[in-house]
DNA sequence: TTGAATTTATTGATATATCAATTATTATTG
DNA sequence: CAATAATAATTGATATATCAATAAATTCAA
């Protein structure tokens, strides 16, 4: 299995990189000034408006420090406003600006189509199996 | 399939990140002063001594610029020497220093064990299927 | 054989990842 | 209630990713 193991993790690395590059290219081509990481963080903030940054980070598989910096950029780009949280002054209250919703809505079909393209030729069964496998790997690496 | 798609790519992202973190932790714990990216590039250079940097980059799924910088670090850390290639002055000849081989040999069982741990509970059949799936995704994203 | 195109690699700018140290605030506990 | 611990987030340093611009050497074509 040794050789396969090697190929396996190489493929894993290459697959996610290929997908990220592909998705980023598509985003840019459509004229959005968001990286897919910024989009991911933004989406998590919208979906969970009450979460603290560290919870956002966890949901987006990101380091706290990265999230701090990504949020900085999102504020600078005018997608978010940030003020101190009224109930816990260690935290911040992040508010999406009005333009966010239009952008997210516009990005939605692109993301959907990207995923479909990337999974072309992979059946739902297979996808489920792969997904289970990945979950197992995640567990194995985190204990 | 939409919801699954989303979970699928989230899992993909999380799996490779979990594995990389796990592998990096193990490397450090064993006292090696290499990142896994440096190790990956170094290993490719050893395995293909005649390759140009751009070929190494491709094999390691890395950007040319990243490889340039990683090689700089490997030279600085005393794992490589670099001189101009005698047959093509645009290229460089990269030579591993003697200490490289010992280090790579010492890292080998760690990598092997990391992969085994990560794939614990995943059968060879499943791994093969996942691998095929990943290959399909890579192709889909690159055409 | 010169001039244009191609190849190989570097550099700069910006974004993200990671670890460690730090700050500010809140919670605990003695 | 004061001292301490825990929590939320930032900052600094270093590594890697990506894109664009550039430099140097080589190849090719007129």
Three-state SS annotation for B9-77: HHHHHHHHHHHHHHHHHHHHHCCCCCCHHHHHHHHHHHHCCCCCHHHHHHHCCCCHHHHHHHHHHHHHC
pLDDT over 70 (residue A1): no
Write down the pLDDT at residue B34: 94
Q: How far is the CA of A89 from the C1' of C24 (A)?
A: 8
Cα B14 to Cα B3: distance, rounded to the nearest angstrom: 16
A137 touches chain B (CB under 8 A): yes
- A81: helix, strand or coil: strand
Measured from the CB, is A63 under 7 Å from any atom of strand C?
Answer: yes
Q: How many other CB atoms sit within 10 Å of the CB of residue A59?
A: 18
Binary contact (B4, A126; C-beta < 8 A): no
pLDDT band at residue A4 using 50, 70 and 90 as cut-offs: confident
pLDDT > 70 fraction of chain A, expressed in percent and rounded = 99
Q: Which residues of B touch A1 (CB under 8 A)?
A: 119, 124, 127
Q: Comparing C-alpha atoms, which of A40, A49, A47 is closest to residue A85? A: A49
Average pLDDT score over chain A: 94
Instruction: State the pLDDT at residue B1.
Output: 60
Nucleotides of strand D lying closer than 7 angstroms to a protein CB: 7-13, 15-20, 24-27
Nearest to B17 among A61, A121, A126 (CB): A61
Task: Provide the pLDDT confidence category of residue A50 given band limits of 50, 70 and 90.
Answer: very high
Per-residue model confidence (pLDDT) at position A7: 87
* pLDDT class of A25 with cuts at 50, 70, 90: very high
- Cα separation, B127 vs A7, whole angstroms: 10
One pLDDT digit (tens) per residue for chain B, 143 residues: 667 778 899 999 999 999 999 999 999 989 899 999 999 999 999 999 999 999 999 999 999 999 999 999 999 999 999 999 999 999 999 999 999 999 999 999 999 999 999 999 999 999 999 999 999 999 999 88
Residue B50 C-alpha from the chain's centroid: 18
Please name the residues between 41 and 80 in chain B that touch chain A, using a CB distance below 8 Å: 61
The structural architecture, per CATH, of the domain A2-142 is Orthogonal Bundle (1.10)
Q: What are phi and psi of B50, to 5 degrees?
A: -90, -5
CA atoms in the 13 A half-sphere facing the CB of A29: 9
Instruction: Give pLDDT, residue B78.
Output: 96
Residue with tokens 């380091």: A63
**Which nucleotide's C1' atom has the smallest distance to the CA of A91?**
D8
């Amino acid at each position: 299995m040794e050789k396969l193991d090697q190929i396996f993790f190489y493929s894993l690395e290459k697959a996610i990189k290929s997908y990220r590059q592909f998705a980023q290219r598509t985003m840019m081509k459509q004229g959005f000034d968001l990286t897919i990481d910024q989009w991911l963080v933004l989406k998590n903030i919208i979906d969970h408006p009450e979460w603290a940054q560290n919870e956002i980070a966890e949901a987006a598989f990101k380091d706290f420090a990265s999230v701090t910096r990504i949020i900085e950029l999102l504020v600078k780009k005018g997608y978010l406003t940030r003020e101190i949280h009224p109930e816990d002054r260690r935290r911040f209250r992040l508010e999406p600006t009005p333009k966010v919703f239009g952008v997210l809505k516009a990005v939605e079909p692109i993301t959907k189509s990207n995923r479909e393209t990337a999974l072309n030729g992979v059946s739902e069964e297979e996808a489920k199996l792969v997904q289970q496998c990945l979950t197992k790997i995640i567990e194995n690496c985190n204990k």
